[in-house]
Amino acid sequence: MADWDYRPEEEQKEEKEKKYVTRKEFRICFAILLAALVFATFSINNSIRQSRNEISSDIYQVEQQISNTINNIPRNIEQGIADANNPFLENRMKIVGVDEKTKTATIHLTAAPKEYVDGMTMKFMVSCDGAEKMEVPASAGADRVYTAELTVPFCDVVSATVHLQKNGKESICQMENVYINENVLPVFNGRWSGSIGWMTGQDFVTFDGEILVDVNTPQWLMLKDKGTSFKLKNQRLEVYVDGKLHKTYPAIARFADEYNCEYRTDLTGENKIKLEEFKKIEFVFKAEDSNGVKYSYLAEKGTWTNKDGYDSDEYWAMTDTDKLIIE
């Protein structure tokens, strides 16, 4: 016999609605939980992948360190043997003075022997730019360190060897080079900025623009007095065509500070330059400093032809002193 529900219809309806709402809420919660699980799984996979990459990177670095260590073993052995056979604790050469007026630099040389014995002597053999070596006797101080000084003309590189005479035997050691010009001379960097125009049928090309020359304070003065004593005057740009002076233009200073200055020469408007075919043009910046040293710097040069256009050689090397002439 079937059981009859004698409750009012409203109560039965409310109970059915409650069951339906509860089932719906369950589905929503399940969906949220499933989404959270998927997100957590994705995050864990990313963490595992990142950890794997970090471990691979660490392994690679360790392998590189081991490889470098192994590769350096022969070099370290050679260096160890050389150090053991080196009779000097140290030897060095440095610039201690500069005379811009005479264009000379004073070099101080030092050598300390590992062992001192009575009667030992020492000397330095010094050369400028590969020229004939000069013998410079060294004298020992109270600390038994041998020193010497000499004055050399401005040059690119000073090389030297130290010679030790002890117990009838001579030991020779090469010293580290000293670079004069790049330390005591200002650094020039010149460039052309503008257009070079030519039209079909013309036998000349027109320069319309400017020459810019950057001048940096010598490193020697930057260390000595922060470069405050270095100033240029009478700066100008001389234009040469086929080796002959064509015209002189003013070079105006701008963007100046205690370390560098840019000089600009205007070659626009009335200052435009016409260069005929097969002619060679040179832009030379000239100036002098407060000590009377005169500088002549080739900023740019070139030759123009109808066939090949303008052939330009630009000098950008910061220490290319063979493009710089001092008087």
- In the predicted structure, residue 82 carries a pLDDT above the cut 80: no
Question: What's the mean pLDDT in 31-58?
Answer: 77
pLDDT for 118: 82
pLDDT for 320: 39
Q: How confident is the model at residue 1 (pLDDT cuts 50, 70, 90)?
A: very low
pLDDT for 2: 47
Higher pLDDT, 277 or 92: 92
- In the predicted structure, residue 15 carries a pLDDT above the cut 60: no
Query: Quick one: which of 126, 110, 135 has its CA closest to 160?
Result: 126
- In the predicted structure, residue 283 carries a pLDDT above the cut 50: yes
Please report, for the chain, the start and end positions of each structural domain, with discontinuous segments joined by +.
7-85, 88-182, 185-326
Burial of 98 (0-12, 13-18, 19+ CB in 10 A): buried
162-185 tens-digit pLDDT: 898 888 888 888 888 999 888 888
Please tell me the least confidently modeled range out of 99-108, 123-132, 172-181, 305-314. Answer: 305-314
- In the predicted structure, residue 67 carries a pLDDT above the cut 70: yes
Question: What's the mean pLDDT in 296-306?
Answer: 80
CATH of 88-182, one of 3.20.20.70, 3.40.630.30, 2.60.40.10, 3.40.50.300: 2.60.40.10
Q: How confident is the model at residue 52 (pLDDT cuts 50, 70, 90)?
A: confident
Do strands 232-241 and 187-197 pair parallel, antiparallel, or not at all (unpaired)?
Answer: unpaired
Cβ neighbors of 262 (< 8 A, separation 6 or more) are 212, 213, 214, 215, 253, 254, 255, 256
| Three-state SS sequence of 100-148 | CCCCEEEEEEEEEECCCCCCCEEEEEEEECCCCCEEEECEECCCCCEEE
- In the predicted structure, residue 134 carries a pLDDT above the cut 80: yes
Query: What's the chain's average pLDDT?
Result: 78
Higher pLDDT, 190 or 325: 190
Tokens of 1: 């016999």
pLDDT for 321: 38
